[in-house]
Structure 1
Amino acid sequence: MMVCATCKGLQKHLKTLDGVQKTETGALQLVDASLLDIRASATGCRACALLLQGILLHHDRFKNVKESDTRITAESFESVQGRNSQDHLSVEARWKEQHDDDEQENDEHGHAGWPNLKLEFFTDEDGQSSFSAIGQGRQISSQPLQDAGLSTVRNLLKTCLSSHSKCRRPKSTTLPKRVLDVLGNDSKSVRLHESYFNKDENRYEYGEYIALSHVWGVAKGLPKTTTRTIQSYKKGIPWTTLPRALQEAVVLTRTLGFRWLWIDALCLIQDDTPSKLEESMTMDQIFGNAFLTIAATSATDSSSHPLFPAQVQPFKIQATDSKGSAFKIYVREQPSHYSFKAPFDEGAHMNEWELPFNISEDSNQDTPLLKRAWAFTERLLSPRLLHFTKSEMILECREGYQCECGRIADSTFDSRATDSIKQEFARIIAETNRRPSFDGSVHDQPNGIESVTSQLASTTLTNGAKNISQKREEALQLWSYIITEFTARNITYDSDRLLAIASIANQLSPALHSGYVAGQWTFSTMGLLWYPNDSTRCRRSKSSTGHNVPSWSWASIEGSPIFFDTASAMDLACRVSFASSDGDVASWLPLSGNIIELSAAMATDVTFSSTGSADSPSYLLSKNGIVVDFTPDIIPPRGDDSLRNGEKLVCVLVSMTYRSSIIGLVLQRSNNSDVYRRVGRLECYECSREGNDEEMSEDAEALFEHWFPNIQDMSQLDNYPLQRFAVV
């Protein structure tokens, strides 16, 4: 029998034929050809004709690309015991955009990176196919409130609760201060319930509840609880005033068997600023105690978009076998898993991740919730979230991910790294809050700042310092990742930046054993060495709440992801003390800060200058004829950050990195007073002679000799006189 050389007839049993390869994941690659080759072969091959038809149904994705430049591969997977059946045919298309003039780094066929288009060909549960490479596919529910959809939701939750120790609920939880009661006398009954507060036990009443994470948008038409509406809402909230997204959240909550639902717009009094601020500071409890957070992940706003987005249904292709019998093949684009997956392959350690993890426009164009800063903190705090996206439901929990297509956590089908910051966050909190007792048993501790003192009291002298140091290092590294991700996302009000991250800090505080002021852990001088990824997009944040965001805090900068240097190869004897807290581990000032004092052995006056064009400026610091490059926090410097050519600044060196660079803070005297403001960060890799462009540059360490000639022994920095600077 003649077998098509292009597609091997899409038959698994022909895997021994020439041209059939086995991939690293064990899949059989049956096709590796251009779209033009498949079109040519389709005139005499039923299998190629089927492939061509399914691919061309998605032609809008590559309509401006030549068929000869579109590479098609098709893989069939071997059945593996214990793994959910995936008998579909995976078809990938790759092409080079015509406007892309860069050289592709790939093999001779252009197989580089994630495919431009990834399709699956499959039959339904009872369907038969004459192509053994095309088997049953996994159905994706289009209506979460129908029987099939509800069954999927319950199965996802059941797997999480039965298999994940970090996700189990060992004790009853208390309700938030206000929740919605969705189990009234009729299907459209919703009322605001104020939880009973037990003064003797200092807690609200027990109860299981669901929370909603969503984008408000312009909030037109979104009902809100205010001092004017609260009394009437306690009696009942008119069903017709609820937008569709909130109605669907109510129905889902009720259908899953829960009575209580928390929605911020209705459970926080929006025009009572003190009350709203107080409750917003407890988001770790509100979302942390929720049984489930349902996320309107694909809704641009909750006023006009549904919680359950319309999903693209698979195409149906009528095919015939060799005897003329008809059968159906379904073709759909495989779920992309959005920014839950990285643009790089699995296997990279978190320290080697490209951060922010994946906030590309392509990844998030259909998941606007993932681009919001408040929603990011809600994701981290919730035990589990059920994301409703345009392609499928995805359950994200403290130990991983599940999805309807079954591929998000299986590297066989999706080799890209999965975002695990939430899981690392949960791990550190779980390990910190479980301490061994004298009898060898393990006890849970309360989360948050109030548990720091009890942990310190229970730490033995022999192993305490080592354990604290290790936990601190892990937690501080994780904190730096979280802030980078958090600042890469949008937030409506500048004044909410420190408020939105406060609950995350509260959860990490036991692991860090530190005070916390305006986003900064008081034990860490290195935490001050933050820097914007792109200063040209930055501005100083505006405070409208009376809370002072100091220049030394990363929260004072808006417009760009913030990165940190938290590891030092050499300490340059710079220390920080917080005047408001004096470094006390119990200090907790999450929304504002004032003066800090920097004491440093290596601090000196330098001269600022700016060269180059307006489109491509260059900023320099010089002293004793030695010049280094400098990156201001705001480019171009303006407003309070304005700098003049010839202006004297202060450079305070903090550390030397493993990159052989020297890092320090650059300060500007404020209004001829004795206090300073941060205006930027210096990272010196090399320095050069002033006015001599032809002379070779010197290594960064030459800066010590030229800027600090009085310091003869770097190993004795702690014994040199210290200069002190008050920074606001």
Structure 2
Amino acid sequence: MTLPPRPSYICAHAWEGVFAVRFGLAYKPFNVTRPPNDDSWLHKRYQYAISPTSCGLQKCVWCEFLEKHFKFSESECWVHGHTSKVLVQGVRGACPYLLREVRIKWQPCCEPSVSCKFGMYTTADDHVAHCIEGRTRILHVGSPNVLAMAKKCIDECVGNHRACQAIMRGPAPLPRRLIDCSDPLRVRILETDGKRRGRYVALSYVWGGDQPHHPAVLPQTILDAIRVTRALGMIFLWIDSLCIIQDSEEDKHRELASMRDVYRYAYVTIDAARTARASDGFLQDCQPLNPGVTLPFIGFPPVRRKPQGASGNPEIPVGTVYLDVPRSDTMTGVEPASSGKSETGRRGWCLQESMLSTRSLVFSPETLQLRCQALTQNIGGAGHLGQSDPPRLPDVILRPRRPIERGSDEWKKIHRTWHRIVEDYSRRLLSYSEDKLLACAAIAEMFSPALGPDYLAGLWRATLLRDLLWQRDEDQLPTSNQPGQHPQKDARAPSWSWASFDGPVQFLPRSETAVAMAEVVKCSATPQDEHLPLGPIQAGGTLVLRARLIPSLPYYDNDSERIELLPLARKYRDAPRCLQLYARFDRQVELLRNSLQGVSLRGPRELWMIPLVRNTVGHPDIQGLIVERAEESTLPATLTAQQGGQMNVYRRVGFCGNYWYPARDVAVFDRVPRVEITLI
């Protein structure tokens, strides 16, 4: 078999090298087994040399693509046009020659390899469609044919996905109110008795302002949801703005308490992820994507039976494929193929609606997707790399409740998942900051059987010391008008809770060898509403620790936040001269830096460090909180009376820790006596 004729826009070096690899002419085919004890076999099979500035053509699409998406400093060989090595590896699917994606690795001289992954797809009628699994993304998301394809995918999920079947089998309990869409031109609110069972659709969307609460005046997003409901062969639809009486606080609290079951038992949730306002709708065509590059592709002849008497080699197809850049890669400078962002992915309320749903039909900015507990897929077969998927709830939480042994691997995985969810949630927007605990109450309720039962303003009593170790995430963008701070008035949570902080937070990786350096004496956080035990709390939540209280001094070192335990070093002669810990203050760096400009190390504020946990394996590290004394005017009346005039009440202002001091340096902490400390 010979290589097909070379297209005019590809240089001979690339066509006879990397493209011929796909055909199996230039190097060994894909099914060659790995030689024993040979780590370099893959590079030997697929490497070839290329010089982008001297490929022999004025404009080679492949060489131009490499030059565009792999940009480095002038000191490296790429910019100067010296010979570099490019590695292209095919990933096989169900068919021996079915490629799902292309991995492109550039290996500069004397440098580690740099990689970036590109989705690979083609059209359904292309000559090599039988070789390529990925298809072009659907743009006409509101067309009847596309909605019919979506219904088929949903039916496939209901009938064959075991993970989804384990969550919901058969008709589910109906919510208290539903929208009857049997006549799309005259919809009406249907009152159920709370005992009926059946199938219904739920809607997750961004209000983007006040919503009309009357069926006679409906925004476009709700009209589109009614249309999709009917296209899926369903009659009942649940929408919060219509199925909850917005003028009744009593009805709101009662319905919000059942929010978990509304989305969990919905047959499918319509996720209007592409619209920021209810008035916009979500069934309009998506904008076409700009592919990273369009390339020729050497396919393999389709497997067909030869007619009797036929002879000769089958024709070798050459088609067109597209490489789609799914995300920005800071190492290679690759820009995303589309700037579309999910609007529901930005909003705090929408997180629990997405996570609690067994399956969601997502009208994303780029295409139409079905997301369920088993997988995420683009309708129509387009490739999906899952770069924007929110975290999923563990299967064991969604299934019928069963005991989970505390401390088991399964239990630890659930606790880690909770931290990841809080991190995702903290990056989202809320129109009203007082909804911080309310908008994730349904998710907390799902975790309660495993991590509960006591839920304390976003933290669990069973893992309280570990949950206290959150910090400001400086790598994420702010999520409010005044980010990176604790609210000064009408605090929705005590300072020790992540829910008190306006801005993205992160938890440190869990250490299985960490030991506690503090003890929880008592903790209280009383819910505002008995119907929402895991929702907003009353003012005055307190935490009492028996721990070490160590005076500390804040300072900056090359724009990094730190605290210095100088008083501790002075008190004990055998302690290190200057014990320093890195710090992450809750307020924005600029605010703290301004308060310290031109000020000596003694600083304008008195701060203390409270060590909470210490790792005992390897290099010992300590993690804890930074606190300041609470002003008497901010104390609850009951707490002021209990203190009897003794101001021993503190407020959290940051997180601190170290990862580099030897054991002899941190052993001095054990010599500090423990005292009872009250945090508000």
C-alpha separation in 2, matches of 1:252 and 1:649:
57
Letter in 1 for 2:544: L
Q: Which residue of structure 2 aligns with residue 421 of structure 1? A: 391
Letter in 2 for 1:682: C
Shift of 1:557: 0.9
1:373 is aligned to 2:373: no
Shift of 1:480: 1.1
Letter in 2 for 1:575: V
Match of 2:216 among 237, 240, 255: 237
C-alpha separation in 2, matches of 1:661 and 1:143:
55
Contact residue 52 and residue 67 of structure 2 kept, 8 A: no
**CA deviation vs aligned residue, 1:308-363 (integer Å, no higher than 9, x gap):** 542427999999x9xxx9x9955545483x69xx999xxxxxxxxxxxxxxx9888
1:389 is aligned to 2:364: yes
C-alpha separation in 1, matches of 2:296 and 2:375:
38
Shift of 1:516: 0.5
Letter in 1 for 2:212: K
Shift of 1:32: 7.3
Match of 1:190 among 174, 187, 190: 187
Letter in 2 for 1:628: Q
C-alpha separation in 2, matches of 1:680 and 1:124:
55
Q: Secondary structure at the residue paired with 1:302? A: coil
C-alpha separation in 2, matches of 1:270 and 1:67:
65
Shift of 1:292: 0.8
C-alpha separation in 2, matches of 1:307 and 1:508:
35
C-alpha separation in 2, matches of 1:561 and 1:39:
52
Q: Which residue of structure 2 aligns with residue 224 of structure 1? A: 212
Match of 1:668 among 628, 646, 650: 628
Q: Which residue of structure 1 aligns with residue 551 of structure 2? A: 606
Contact residue 139 and residue 404 of structure 1 kept, 8 A: no
Shift of 1:572: 1.9
1:387 and 1:61, CA in 2 relative to 1: closer, same or farther beyond 3 A?
Answer: farther
1:577 is aligned to 2:526: no
Match of 2:237 among 239, 261, 267: 261
Letter in 2 for 1:247: L
Task: Please provide the CA RMSD for this pair.
Answer: 4.9
Shift of 1:264: 2.7
C-alpha separation in 1, matches of 2:622 and 2:191:
55
C-alpha separation in 1, matches of 2:428 and 2:256:
19
Q: Which residue of structure 2 aligns with residue 114 of structure 1? A: 116
C-alpha separation in 2, matches of 1:270 and 1:389:
28
1:310 and 1:242, CA in 2 relative to 1: closer, same or farther beyond 3 A?
Answer: same
Shift of 1:275: 3.1
Shift of 1:273: 4.1
C-alpha separation in 2, matches of 1:563 and 1:388:
31
Q: Which residue of structure 2 aligns with residue 40 of structure 1? A: 57
Match of 2:15 among 7, 26, 36: 7
1:508 and 1:555, CA in 2 relative to 1: closer, same or farther beyond 3 A?
Answer: same
1:118 and 1:516, CA in 2 relative to 1: closer, same or farther beyond 3 A?
Answer: closer
1:531 is aligned to 2:531: no
C-alpha separation in 2, matches of 1:136 and 1:653:
54
1:549 and 1:269, CA in 2 relative to 1: closer, same or farther beyond 3 A?
Answer: same
Alignment of 1:396-407 (within 5 A): 396-404=371-379, 406=381
Letter in 1 for 2:376: Y
Shift of 1:11: 6.5
**CA deviation vs aligned residue, 1:550-570 (integer Å, no higher than 9, x gap):** 111111111223324654522
Q: Secondary structure at the residue paired with 1:421? A: coil
Letter in 2 for 1:237: A
1:702 is aligned to 2:665: yes
Identity between Structure 1 and Structure 2 (%):
21
Letter in 2 for 1:205: R
1:680 and 1:19, CA in 2 relative to 1: closer, same or farther beyond 3 A?
Answer: same
1:314 and 1:591, CA in 2 relative to 1: closer, same or farther beyond 3 A?
Answer: closer
C-alpha separation in 1, matches of 2:225 and 2:48:
45
1:309 and 1:22, CA in 2 relative to 1: closer, same or farther beyond 3 A?
Answer: farther
Q: Secondary structure at the residue paired with 1:265? A: helix
Q: Which residue of structure 2 aligns with residue 167 of structure 1? A: 164
Contact residue 160 and residue 167 of structure 1 kept, 8 A: yes
Q: Secondary structure at the residue paired with 1:511? A: helix
Q: Which residue of structure 1 aligns with residue 451 of structure 2? A: 512
Q: Which residue of structure 1 aligns with residue 537 of structure 2? A: 592
Contact residue 76 and residue 134 of structure 1 kept, 8 A: no
1:312 and 1:110, CA in 2 relative to 1: closer, same or farther beyond 3 A?
Answer: farther
1:671 and 1:700, CA in 2 relative to 1: closer, same or farther beyond 3 A?
Answer: farther
1:598 and 1:135, CA in 2 relative to 1: closer, same or farther beyond 3 A?
Answer: closer
**CA deviation vs aligned residue, 1:394-452 (integer Å, no higher than 9, x gap):** 2211122222464757xxxx6x8896830xx2323146x344xxxxxxxxxxxxxxxxx
1:248 is aligned to 2:218: no
C-alpha separation in 2, matches of 1:11 and 1:550:
64
**CA deviation vs aligned residue, 1:526-577 (integer Å, no higher than 9, x gap):** 2112211229965335498x67311111111112233246545222242242
Q: Which residue of structure 1 aligns with residue 265 of structure 2? A: 289
Contact residue 598 and residue 726 of structure 1 kept, 8 A: yes
Contact residue 209 and residue 292 of structure 1 kept, 8 A: yes
Contact residue 660 and residue 700 of structure 1 kept, 8 A: yes
Total equivalences in the alignment: 592
1:598 and 1:276, CA in 2 relative to 1: closer, same or farther beyond 3 A?
Answer: same
Shift of 1:261: 1.6
Contact residue 312 and residue 390 of structure 1 kept, 8 A: no
Q: Which residue of structure 1 aligns with residue 507 of structure 2? A: 563
Q: Which shifted more, 276-285 or 506-515?
A: 276-285
Alignment of 1:404-483 (within 5 A): 404=379, 406=381, 421-422=391-392, 425-430=393-398, 433-435=400-402, 466=405, 471-483=410-422
Shift of 1:679: 1.8
Match of 2:429 among 448, 470, 490: 490
TM-score (norm 1): 0.67
- Gapped regions of structure 1 (runs ≥ 5): 43-47, 95-103, 198-202, 226-232, 345-359, 436-454, 456-463, 687-697, 712-721
Q: Which residue of structure 1 aligns with residue 609 of structure 2? A: 651
1:19 and 1:550, CA in 2 relative to 1: closer, same or farther beyond 3 A?
Answer: same
Letter in 2 for 1:384: R
1:309 and 1:627, CA in 2 relative to 1: closer, same or farther beyond 3 A?
Answer: farther
Q: Which residue of structure 1 aligns with residue 154 of structure 2? A: 157
Shift of 1:392: 3.1
C-alpha separation in 1, matches of 2:432 and 2:21:
57
Contact residue 662 and residue 700 of structure 1 kept, 8 A: no
1:496 and 1:700, CA in 2 relative to 1: closer, same or farther beyond 3 A?
Answer: farther
Q: Which residue of structure 2 aligns with residue 723 of structure 1? A: 675
1:539 and 1:479, CA in 2 relative to 1: closer, same or farther beyond 3 A?
Answer: same
Match of 1:17 among 15, 22, 26: 26
1:551 and 1:211, CA in 2 relative to 1: closer, same or farther beyond 3 A?
Answer: same
C-alpha separation in 1, matches of 2:48 and 2:120:
14
1:637 and 1:724, CA in 2 relative to 1: closer, same or farther beyond 3 A?
Answer: farther
Structure number with higher relative contact order (C-alpha < 8 Å, ≥ 6 residues apart): 2
Shift of 1:483: 0.8
Q: Secondary structure at the residue paired with 2:14? A: coil
Q: Secondary structure at the residue paired with 1:588? A: coil
Contact residue 142 and residue 149 of structure 1 kept, 8 A: no
C-alpha separation in 2, matches of 1:562 and 1:23:
45
1:633 is aligned to 2:603: no
Letter in 1 for 2:175: P
1:255 and 1:12, CA in 2 relative to 1: closer, same or farther beyond 3 A?
Answer: same
Letter in 2 for 1:483: V
